[in-house]
Amino acid sequence: MGLALSRDIKNLYGSPVRPFLPSPTLVLNRMFNLPLRSLPRASWGTKVLQTHLFGSVSFFSTGARALATEPTPRITQAVGDLTDLEKQHEILARQTKLSKETVQLKKLKPTSPGLRWWRKPMYPYLWKGKPVRALTKTRVSRSGRNHTGRIVVRHRGGGHQRRIRFIDYHRKEPGRQTVVRIEYDPNRTAHIALLKHNDTGNLSYIIACQGLREGDIVESFRSGIPEYLMEEMGGRIDPAILNAKTAQKGNCLPISMIAVGAIVHNVSETVHGPAKYCRAAGANARIVNKIPEKRKAVVRLQSGEERYVSIDACATLGVTSNPDHQHESLGKAGRSRHRGIRPTVRGVAQNKCDHPMGGGRGKSKSNKLSMSPWGVLAKGGFKTRRGKNINKQKVRDRPRGKISQRN
């Protein structure tokens, strides 16, 4: 029986499964809790129940469930006989399950001091090969210097050679796109996804959202509602059907088509502008309010700040990938140098000619206020007149101080 069921599952999912009969007393019914040997052998059916649950397979005659199946990217074959809404529900449930998976942190035996505190999240689904060369270019390192050769950004220099990936922040091309693979990008903390257009075959990179995997279908509605969707709605816009068809992680939608309270990332500020907010690992924003008469929407960023954006600006549903980046530990200073980050030296430890707080015997800054290398006070800062630098797009400032943190 086990070989026959494994053969059926292999034909359905495209990959073999591990043995799913751990013992002869497999539970057939949760209500009666009958063992397998208590029933006649004729009742041991091998028909697969057409539910196509990702990560589990149910059987029609026994009611048993195999929990050891391996999910594969062949989503269209696995849910081929379901309706469109059922397909989208299964894909959404699968992405939600993947987004809640616990990521394991890799830890090595401390054979050296640099490995003792080294921690790195493990992502087995990442592409292990090279990126698409046509979508990259060489990164020229300037070590923080401008055209005159002077250092304008400190603590830059060295590091491993990189290639810049061209990320599509506009998502203007309509039509469905298939996720080819998820890749690592050394220039950002989030992962990127390689997309292939189903009609034109064009390749492009986007910032991957949490739960996006190889084989998923994403779409951009920035240029409007497609014709096939209008035909399914009967030529008129049905908000319920439109929301059910478009509400999927990785889809790019105008904020006017996104429900209030939704979690988004890659938020643009203007109608035709690129994504500017919430592009780092684990970053997300929330649609707080919409003001149609002003053609604006209020978005709450992760810092708690609320800003105005255009209601026709676009955002991508979901949370940015790699939220466990915050648990990563480099373990030693040399790994920061590999990333092109040079050390940050305290002003007290410098010479008098290099910093206002340097020099002297010992590590005393003497009777001076803390300040930057250019004399700007650290406590109090650089002050200007009130009302001079007001950001009109800011609705509410981010919470500051210990009182706001407790609340």
Query: What does the H/E/C string look like for 196-222?
Result: EECCCCCEEEEECECCCCCCCEEEECC
Does residue 25 belong to any structural domain of this protein? yes
What is the pTM (predicted TM-score) of this model?
0.72
Are 173 and 307 members of one domain? Answer: yes
- Banded pLDDT at 294 (limits 50, 70, 90): very high
Domain that holds residue 317: 133-323
> Are both 164 and 264 inside the same structural domain?
yes
Q: Which residue has the tokens 């090279």?
A: 130
Q: What distance in Å separates the CA atoms of residue 389 and residue 407, rounded to the nearest whole number?
A: 28
Question: What's residue 11's pLDDT?
Answer: 46
In this structure, the answer to whether residues 302 and 164 fall within a common structural domain is yes
DSSP 253-286: EEGGGSPTT-EEESEESSSSPPEEES-STT--EE
**137 and 247 together in one domain:** yes
Spatial separation of the C-alpha atoms in residues 286 and 306, rounded to whole Å: 9
Q: Are 221 and 251 in contact (CB under 8 A)?
A: yes
pLDDT digits (tens, 9 = 90+) for 34-74: 444 444 444 344 333 333 333 333 333 333 343 333 444 44
Q: Into how many domains does the chain fold?
A: 2
More confident residue, 66 or 251: 251
Q: Which two tokens stand for residue 47?
A: 């028909």
Q: Which of 263, 296, 323 is the last residue of a domain?
A: 323
Other CB atoms within 10 A of residue 249 CB: 23
| Shared domain check, 64 and 150 | no
Least confident of 62-66, 260-264, 294-298: 62-66
Let me know whether 155 and 273 are in one domain. yes
8 A C-beta contact, residue 192 and residue 279: no
Q: What are the pLDDT digits (tens) for 314-325?
A: 999 999 999 999
Q: Above pLDDT 90, what percent of the chain? A: 53
Please tell me what DSSP assigns to residue 341: B
Tokens of 135: 């979508």
Contact 273, 313 (CB under 8 A): yes
Residues 221 and 319 in one domain: yes
Which helix (H) or strand (E) segment holds residue 315: the answer is: strand 314-317
Q: pLDDT at position 80, please?
A: 54
Task: Say if strands 57-58 and 314-317 run parallel, antiparallel, or are unpaired.
Answer: unpaired
- Of 316, 328, 223, 249, give the one whose Cα is nearest residue 276: 316
Domain end residue (candidates: 72, 92, 124): 72
Buried b (16+ CB within 10 A) or exposed e, 54-86: beebebeebbbbbeebebebebeebbeeeeeee
Cα 3 → chain centroid: 39
Q: Identify whether residues 229 and 304 lie together within a single domain.
A: yes
Domain contains 359: no
The CATH number assigned to the domain holding 263 equals 2.40.50.140
Sequence-ordered list of residues with C-beta below 8 angstroms from that of 111, at least 6 positions apart, any chain: none
Task: Please tell me whether residues 309 and 162 are part of one structural domain.
Answer: yes
Instruction: Answer whether residue 158 is part of any domain.
Output: yes
Is 200 a domain residue?
Answer: yes
Place of tokens 């373990």: 331
Same domain, 172 and 307: yes
User: Does residue 172 sit in the same domain as residue 244?
Assistant: yes
Reduce the DSSP state of residue 134 to 3 states and report it. Answer: helix
> Does residue 395 belong to any structural domain of this protein?
no
Provide long-range contacts, Cβ within 8 A and 24+ apart, for 240-249. 244/85, 244/88, 245/84, 245/88, 246/219, 246/221, 247/92, 247/317, 248/88, 248/91, 248/92, 248/95, 248/218, 248/317, 249/92, 249/95, 249/99, 249/209, 249/210, 249/211, 249/212, 249/317, 249/318
The H or E element spanning position 403 is: helix 401-406
Same domain, 139 and 211: yes
Is 98 a domain residue?
no
Least confident among 80-84, 85-89, 241-245, 289-293:
80-84
Find, among 148, 250, 241, 146, the residue nearest to 191 by Cα.
250
The pLDDT of residue 242 is 84
Q: Does residue 94 form part of some domain?
A: no
> Of 32, 53, 72, which residue sits at a domain end?
72
- List all residues 6 or more positions away from 140 whose beta carbon is below 8 Å from its beta carbon: none
| H helix count then E strand count, the chain | 8, 19
What pLDDT, in 10s, does the model give residues 69-114?
A: 344 444 444 445 667 667 767 777 777 777 667 788 899 999 999 9
Sign of CA dihedral 287, 288, 291, 295: negative
Q: Residue 245: which pLDDT band, with cuts at 50, 70 and 90?
A: confident
Residue 105 has φ and ψ, to the nearest 5°, of -95, 125
* Position 122 in a domain: no
**DSSP state for residue 154 in the 8-state scheme:** S
